[in-house]
Structure 1
Amino acid sequence: MDLQKTIGFVRTLEKELALFNVDPSDPIVEELTAFFETQNVRITGNRTPPGTPSEIAVLGARSEVHTIVDLALLRELITHSPVSPDEVGVVDTEYEAVLGHLKETTFTSYDHERMFYASREIENRAHRVGYGTIHAGFQRCSIMNRQQPTYRALAQRGLDVHVYGVPDATPPDIDRGQVHTSETTEIAATWFVVFDGAGDDTQKSALVAEEQAEDNFYGVWTYDPVIVDRALDHLERTYVVTGDTRSCSGA
């Protein structure tokens, strides 16, 4: 599954958080919709016959129930965990019953600044772990060059580093890392940072986005190990194992 199809695949994983028998005047549906704005989840309000439980929420997908929680937990979540404009992704907390099932964040309009912010979170995670493999593509070598210090540091830290870009400039020196130059549409159109977690599913993370207009990206930020593994498998098979790109260890 290529990177653009990975984005489409995540869109098919939309979940539903169904609230049952909430007072119609209660703004909780709107509040949860705003709180989970970038999560791949739809919030709905539902009524069932009198005598059935009220103030409960059911999280599920494709007729599979993931969890049932008291609405009080969700009220506490949105009260004590405000979301800032720069917060994306889900960090597991005491609200694991809900957040643990929402491992992917989708976004429709990120500029370069927000893409760099998202990339830094994954790069910092990889640096903290200290080993494993990280793949990063910034579309063009000219953009990649500005990230040279970060990826040299990751390579020197001990990670297996692979960076990708269309060769519009001299590729950067990434120390022991590998620079893959490619003219493929996929490399030219997508921005990605994928970390394998050094084999630990709890550390796996990926940012995969497609530029749909100048400085406007659409994509996903995920901690779901299944989705991360799909992206890793594609990158390894397409660019590393087959040697379809021109690869070098420095400028």
Structure 2
Amino acid sequence: MGLRQLIEFIQTLEKELALFNIDSSDYIDQQLVEYFDTQNVRICSYRTTSGMPSDIAVLSTEDDVLEIISVDTLRELVDSIQPGSTAVGVTDAEYDVILGHLKETTFTSYDTEQMLYASREIEDRARRVGKGTVHAGFQRCSIMADQRSIYTDLSEQGLDVNAYGVPDVPKPNLGGGQLHTVETDEIAKTWFVIFDGAGDTAQKSALIAEERDTNTFYGFWTYDAKIVDSALDYLERTYVSPNDTRSPSQA
């Protein structure tokens, strides 16, 4: 499954956050709609005949209940966002009981600054682990050149680095990292950072997005090991394996 196909697959995994029996004067549902504006989650409010349970939220997919949480916790979550900041980040450990599920979903209308922020989170995770493999594509070699210090550092820290880009400028030197110059529409249109977790399933993570309008990206991040492995397997088979016979300086 290619990178764009993975994005389309994740798009089908819409989640529902159902609020039960909240007060009619409570605007938390509207606040949550705004809060999760870039996530593939539907906010719904329901009232039962008995009025029970009250102020309870249920996060679910079409097939499974993922989490049951108090609406008060959601209020705290919404109130915790600083003015001008992005809503759902990759690291929100205090509310990970709910955000952990919603991070494994799609986002819309991310600009370059937001994409760089999400990329840094996965790169920092890889740096903390200190081993394993990172695959990164920033569409063009000129953009990868702007990230050169980060990926040279990851390589120096002991990680295997595979980077990808359409060759619009001379290939930047990533130290021990390999830069695969690829002239395909897939690489030209997608932005991704994928960490294999260095053998630890809990550390696997991926950010994959497609530029569908100028400086506007649609995609997902995930900690789902199966999805991460699928993306890694595709990149290895499609772009890395054909270069196995070449040295890093030639790849």
| TM superposition score normalised by structure 1 | 0.89
Report the CA distance shift for 1:96/1:169 in structure 2 as closer, same or farther (over 3 A): closer
- What is the match of residue 150 of structure 1? 150
Unaligned runs of 5+ in 1: none
Whether the aligned pair in 2 keeps the contact of 1:89 and 1:104 (CA below 8 Å) is no
Q: Distance in 2 between matches of 1:235 and 1:154?
A: 19
Letter in 2 for 1:30: Q
Letter in 2 for 1:239: Y
- What is the match of residue 205 of structure 2? 205
Q: Distance in 2 between matches of 1:212 and 1:144?
A: 20
Q: Distance in 1 between matches of 2:247 and 2:209?
A: 23
Letter in 2 for 1:18: A
Q: Spell out structure 1 runs of 4+ moving beyond 6 A.
A: none
Q: Distance in 2 between matches of 1:83 and 1:122?
A: 24
Aligned-residue offset at 1:72: 2.2
Whether the aligned pair in 2 keeps the contact of 1:35 and 1:83 (CA below 8 Å) is no
- What is the match of residue 75 of structure 2? 75
Whether the aligned pair in 2 keeps the contact of 1:38 and 1:105 (CA below 8 Å) is no
RMSD of the alignment, in Å?
A: 2.4
Whether the aligned pair in 2 keeps the contact of 1:138 and 1:144 (CA below 8 Å) is yes
Whether the aligned pair in 2 keeps the contact of 1:136 and 1:163 (CA below 8 Å) is yes
Aligned-residue offset at 1:11: 1.1
Q: Distance in 2 between matches of 1:219 and 1:153?
A: 27
Aligned-residue offset at 1:8: 1.1
- What is the match of residue 133 of structure 2? 133
Report the CA distance shift for 1:96/1:154 in structure 2 as closer, same or farther (over 3 A): closer
Q: Distance in 2 between matches of 1:68 and 1:110?
A: 29
| Matching of residues 168-207 of structure 1 within 5 Å | 168-207=168-207
Q: Distance in 1 between matches of 2:247 and 2:142?
A: 16
Aligned-residue offset at 1:17: 0.8
Q: Distance in 1 between matches of 2:74 and 2:43?
A: 12
Whether the aligned pair in 1 keeps the contact of 2:36 and 2:88 (CA below 8 Å) is no
Report the CA distance shift for 1:53/1:118 in structure 2 as closer, same or farther (over 3 A): closer
Whether the aligned pair in 2 keeps the contact of 1:141 and 1:166 (CA below 8 Å) is yes
Q: Distance in 2 between matches of 1:76 and 1:113?
A: 26
> Which sits farther off after the overlay, 145-154 or 116-125?
116-125
What secondary structure does 2:25 align onto?
A: coil
Aligned-residue offset at 1:112: 2.4
> Which sits farther off after the overlay, 62-71 or 171-180?
62-71
> Which sits farther off after the overlay, 25-34 or 158-167?
25-34
Q: Distance in 2 between matches of 1:97 and 1:113?
A: 27
Whether the aligned pair in 2 keeps the contact of 1:175 and 1:250 (CA below 8 Å) is no
| Matching of residues 26-45 of structure 1 within 5 Å | 26-45=26-45
Q: Distance in 2 between matches of 1:237 and 1:72?
A: 47
Q: Distance in 2 between matches of 1:144 and 1:161?
A: 12
Letter in 1 for 2:157: R
Q: Distance in 2 between matches of 1:181 and 1:237?
A: 15
Aligned-residue offset at 1:200: 1.9
Report the CA distance shift for 1:74/1:63 in structure 2 as closer, same or farther (over 3 A): same
Report the CA distance shift for 1:139/1:247 in structure 2 as closer, same or farther (over 3 A): farther
What secondary structure does 1:153 align onto?
A: helix
- What is the match of residue 62 of structure 1? 62
Unaligned runs of 5+ in 2: none
- What is the match of residue 89 of structure 1? 89
Letter in 1 for 2:175: D
Aligned residues: 251
Aligned-residue offset at 1:237: 1.5
2:112 aligned with 1:107: no
Aligned-residue offset at 1:250: 6.3
Aligned-residue offset at 1:159: 0.4
> Which sits farther off after the overlay, 44-53 or 79-88?
79-88
What secondary structure does 1:220 align onto?
A: strand
Q: Distance in 2 between matches of 1:59 and 1:53?
A: 15
Whether the aligned pair in 1 keeps the contact of 2:138 and 2:164 (CA below 8 Å) is yes
Q: Distance in 2 between matches of 1:97 and 1:120?
A: 22
